[in-house]
């Protein structure tokens, strides 16, 4: 364990006061990302509980999420190692190592120019349907992401635009929650976050309806009637984020 915490590399993320660090290192010409956690402290634990939220104590949450997504057939990071030491939940040291997803770009970057340079229809349809399938598979199996923005979907390049060659990886899983059943409010938050983060990429009403049809696996007429309250809540969530939140990658910190 001590050897892992002595690994050095290029620091990728180190949120101030968060007691965690993400760095990139290489071993045998293969790139890896290492996330180190030093424990969140009792103040953070108490703050979360008083806010009726379960605290994220360390890297264990992320490696369990990776394993769960693998079971569900949702593409994500490749787990290379993980560990944890200490019984005190406020001071536990833990880590997770994942293989670098080389040659990937986030959907946020990939779709950034769509308003000025619309993609081929088949390409846009494949991406919308794949994101909807991934979100549905999570929520149907008791999983919610809590930071489900399009910047956390990594597209493997090059891609020829066909569905059968599409590889889309969901990342940034350290806040994922796993239960027997996903509470509706967390489904609303996930889908609302997706809606918010895709507001500036030129999606049409038809695109949004296509997402809903794949996500619910129901006829649109039935969705618009039966899920009206859900859709209103998602719209309100997305609009609220759009008015008040920074860019998705900043909001996820």
Residue 85: give its domain's CATH number. 3.30.200
3-state secondary structure of 77: coil
- Which of 77, 99, 121 represents a domain boundary (last residue)? 99
Domain check: are 79 and 117 in the same one? no
How many domains, in total, are found in the chain? 2
Tokens of 2: 């001590």
Same domain membership, residue 91 and residue 202: no
Grouped pLDDT means (10 residues each) for the chain, 253 residues: 87 81 92 87 62 68 96 97 80 91 97 96 97 98 97 97 96 94 97 96 96 97 97 96 67 43
> How many Å apart are CA 218 and CA 173, to the nearest integer?
29
pTM: predicted TM-score of the whole model, two decimal places? 0.89
Alpha helices per DSSP H over 73-204? 107-110, 121-140, 184-197
Angle, nearest 10°, between helix axes 184-197 and 121-140? 160
Domain boundary residue, one of 47, 70, 99: 99
User: Residue 250: its pLDDT value, please?
Assistant: 44
pLDDT digits (tens, 9 = 90+) for 156-197: 999 999 999 999 999 999 899 999 999 999 999 999 999 999
**pLDDT number for residue 104:** 97
CA distance 121 to 67: 34
39 belongs to a structural domain: yes
pLDDT at 108: 97
Residues 110 and 128 in one domain: yes
Specify whether 123 is located in the same domain as 186. Answer: yes
| 39-66 confidence digits (pLDDT tens) | 665 566 566 666 656 666 678 899 999 9
Q: Is the residue at 253 inside a domain? A: no
Active site residue 147: yes
Q: Are residues 173 and 228 in the same domain?
A: yes
Structural domain harbouring 89: 2-99
**Rounded distance between C-alpha atoms, residue 97 and residue 105, angstroms:** 20
Catalytic residue among 109, 113, 147, 172: 147
């Amino acid at each position: 364990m001590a050897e892992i915490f002595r690994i050095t590399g290029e620091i990728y993320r180190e949120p101030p006061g968060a007691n965690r660090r993400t760095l990139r290192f290489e071993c045998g010409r293969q790139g890896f990302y290492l996330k180190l956690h030093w424990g969140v402290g009792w103040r953070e634990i108490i703050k979360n509980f008083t806010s009726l939220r379960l605290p994220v104590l360390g890297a264990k949450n992320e490696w369990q999420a990776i394993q769960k997504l693998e079971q569900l057939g949702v593409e994500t990071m490749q787990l290379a190692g993980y560990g944890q030491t200490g019984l005190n939940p406020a001071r536990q040291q833990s880590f997770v190592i994942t293989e670098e997803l080389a040659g990937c770009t986030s959907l946020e970057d990939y779709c950034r120019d769509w308003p000025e340079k619309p993609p081929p229809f088949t390409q846009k349809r494949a991406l919308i349907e794949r994101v909807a399938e991934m979100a549905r598979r999570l929520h149907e199996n008791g999983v919610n992401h809590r930071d489900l923005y399009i910047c956390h979907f990594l597209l493997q390049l090059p891609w020829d635009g066909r569905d059968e060659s599409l590889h889309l990886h969901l990342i940034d899983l350290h806040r994922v929650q796993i239960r027997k059943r996903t509470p509706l409010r967390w489904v609303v938050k996930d889908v609302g976050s997706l809606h918010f983060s895709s507001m500036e990429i030129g999606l049409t009403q038809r695109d949004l309806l296509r997402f809903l049809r794949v996500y619910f696996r129901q006829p649109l007429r039935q969705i618009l009637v039966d899920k009206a309250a859900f859709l209103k809540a998602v719209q309100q969530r997305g609009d609220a984020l759009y008015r008040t939140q920074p860019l998705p990658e900043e909001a996820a910190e």
